[in-house]
Chain A
Amino acid sequence: AQSVAQPEDQVNVAEGNPLTVKCTYSVSGNPYLFWYVQYPNRGLQFLLKYITGDNLVKGSYGFEAEFNKSQTSFHLKKPSALVSDSALYFCAVRPNSGGSNYKLTFGKGTLLTVNP
């Protein structure tokens, strides 16, 4: 069975400081990994994904994530946080097989608060 762990329920950073939101995963075979952001009462917005290739993935709004196979991690990072980055962040994983019926498994989410 596949699983995702987001060890921190909350992350607080000051505006302008770098931020990291942690994610580790477990899946059979090679993973497809995703980060999504959710603002209050809204659906999920796609940030970035790792499918194959470079371990450092760049995404929307200045976010990036590094795939580390040996540590089975896919931490989300941003060099300089903005107050508007405050939201709920979800990491998700699926195996790189299974066709269109594959299931995404989500972490429990990390609430990021960026303080002015």
Chain B
Amino acid sequence: GAVVSQHPSWVICKSGTSVKIECRSLDFQATTMFWYRQFPKQSLMLMATSNEGSKATYEQGVEKDKFLINHASLTLSTLTVTSAHPEDSSFYICSASRDGAYNEQFFGPGTRLTVL
């Protein structure tokens, strides 16, 4: 149980285009979903926290208009990187937590974004 999937696992896009990454909790309802960014050989940086049906809470320094987060249901959150640029190239990881169970976070496998 507690499986989180991400799609796509990798994506290459041209500069200026937008890319959508999906995060799904497959066998549980996720009260909260988190989006992280990871640069090579570095730790995870929390970008935003989202609750179903409400606006995401962004961490300081993360551009809301660039990284659009939608948490439309208890099993799906999406991250859209708008007008992507090469500096947005990174590994994006989502996690999901549910009420109870100490609110533990379950992590997705990550999405590698490369912007040319």
CA distance A96 to B95 in the complex (A): 18
If over half of B's interface residues share one DSSP class (helix, strand or loop), that class is named, otherwise mixed; here it is: strand
Contact between chains at B43 and A90 (CB < 8 Å) = yes
Is the interface on chain A under 10, 10 to 19, 20 to 34, or 35 or more residues? Answer: 20 to 34
A42, A100, A103, A111: the one contacting B98 at CB < 8 Å is A100
A-B pair count, CB < 8 Å, reads 59
Most A-side CB within 10 Å, residue of B34, B41, B104? B104
Contacts A100-B99, A101-B32 given; does A109 touch B109 at CB 8 Å: no
Nearest CB on A from B64, distance (A): 18
Which residues B63-104 have CB closer than 8 A to chain A? 91, 93, 95, 97-99, 102-104
Contacts A100-B98, A101-B51 given; does A108 touch B104 at CB 8 Å: no
Contact between chains at A36 and B107 (CB < 8 Å) = yes
Contacts A90-B43, A107-B43 given; does A101 touch B49 at CB 8 Å: yes
- For B98, the chain A residues whose CB sits under 8 A away are 100
A49 at the interface (CB under 8 A from B): yes
Which residues A69-106 have CB closer than 8 A to chain B? 88, 90, 96, 98-104, 106
B106 at the interface (CB under 8 A from A): yes
Is the interface on chain B under 10, 10 to 19, 20 to 34, or 35 or more residues? Answer: 20 to 34
Contact between chains at B43 and A108 (CB < 8 Å) = yes
CA distance A99 to B51 in the complex (A): 12
- For B51, the chain A residues whose CB sits under 8 A away are 100-101
Contacts A101-B49, A108-B42, A109-B42 given; does A43 touch B105 at CB 8 Å: no
Of chain A, the residue at the smallest CB distance from B45 is: A106
8 closest residue pairs by CB, A with B = A43-B109, A44-B107, A100-B31, A43-B110, A100-B32, A108-B43, A100-B103, A106-B43
Using a CB–CB cutoff of 8 Å, the interface residues on chain A facing chain B are 32, 34, 36, 41-46, 49, 51, 88, 90, 96, 98-104, 106-109, 111
